[in-house]
A = this chain, B = another copy of it.
Amino acid sequence: MSVTAAQGFAAAGVAAGLKPSGERDLALVRNRGPLTAAAAVFTTNRCKANPVLWSEQVIADGVVSAIVLNSGGANCYTGAAGFQVTHATAEAVAAALEVSAGDVLVCSTGLIGDQLDLAKLTAGVDAATAALATDAGLGAAEAIMTTDTRPKQAEQRSNAGWTIGGMAKGAGMLAPGLATMLVVITTDAVLGSAQLDSALRAATRVTFDRLDSDGCMSTNDTVALLGSGASGVEPDLDEFALALTEVCRSLATQLQEDAEGASHDITIEVVNALTEDDAVTVGRAVSRSNLFKAAIFGNDPNWGRVLAAVGTTDAAFDPYRIDVAINGVQVCAAGEPDQPRDRVDLAPRAVRVRIDLHAGDEGASILTNDLTHDYVHENSAYSS
């Protein structure tokens, strides 16, 4: 049930002194092989943190021997000095593990614009290297937490003999999108980096890319997939893709359920769209409406705010044919009030909004959260 569930991986989570609280803040995951295949996707934000700039180069050849992650600072907009810190961190890992620095992914999360303390990072890398273990996945998952209230882990085991395990942190958005989402997934299936890459892109497209907690996109988001091949089993590619998607979906849902300050987990299901892109566009527009999200916080099934958000998109639909159901109650049919809104029970944390566009056969669901006092509090009081 962790980043070390698959054979061939060891992990560690240590306290390097980057977090003022003294909690664990540096994680290391090592791929012991025999393969060192890897794939990764990064934030599409044009303002990218130094570890993303570094890691985009590392992943180019599909070979990764280790990944080092720190909380306590994003190392973003810290200039050339900040890039040197990332580089030196990778060098420290390379020296400790006797691998090439060019095969070490680096991830950081925390406040933008502050320099990280390289001496603390280096000492942390040494401590983590010494602590590497096949049963230390939970410690690694804890070391990457920022405003997360709990570690996130997932696992899928195939009867064919291979395993996928993963860990994630992030208490906000995506696209892949700012509380920064960092995800490390490992597998012992025998796959090359190109196969890992296509499986990872397919899985993130329908999971992490459809989690949009607060519409903000991080400068640091990274999802990495490392393959050790240690099971010795070449998987059925379809089965692998399905299992990987399941691990991503589990981690994405855990991110949603731990989103900063949220009191509702909202699934916006768009059906009968002309294209899947239309469904995603409509779902995302609703997920980004502060008025809708505040209404859900207030347990108010305000479907007018749903339609107002739908109407801002260029998706194919007739505005006066749309149906909206909230938690199974069809409050709007063909653009007119249907069932009484007081039949909708918004007391449970899980909320499902179903939007029928009557324009085609495609669909998609977007995961989001409500807009709460606690969200405002966490994001006004906490510099991240």
Contacts and interface: CB of A to CB of B under 8 A. Distances in A.
Contacts of A304: 74, 76-77, 111-113, 219
Contacts of A178: 291, 305, 308
A74 B303 CA distance: 13
Contact of A380 (B218, B295, B336, B377): B295
Given A113-B303, A298-B380, A380-B295, A217 B308 contact: yes
16 contacts: A46-B310, A47-B308, A47-B335, A77-B336, A77-B337, A78-B337, A178-B305, A215-B289, A216-B289, A218-B308, A219-B311, A294-B379, A294-B380, A298-B381, A371-B380, A373-B373
A295 B379 contact: yes
Number of copies of this protein chain within its complex: 2
A301 to B, nearest CB: 10
A161 interface: no
A48 interface: yes
Interface string A8-50: 0000000000000000000000000000000000000111100
Q: Which of A78, A332, A380 has the most CB of B within 10 A?
A: A380
A383 B291 contact: no
B311 A47 contact: yes
A320 B49 CA distance: 11
A96 to B, nearest CB: 30
A379 B112 contact: no
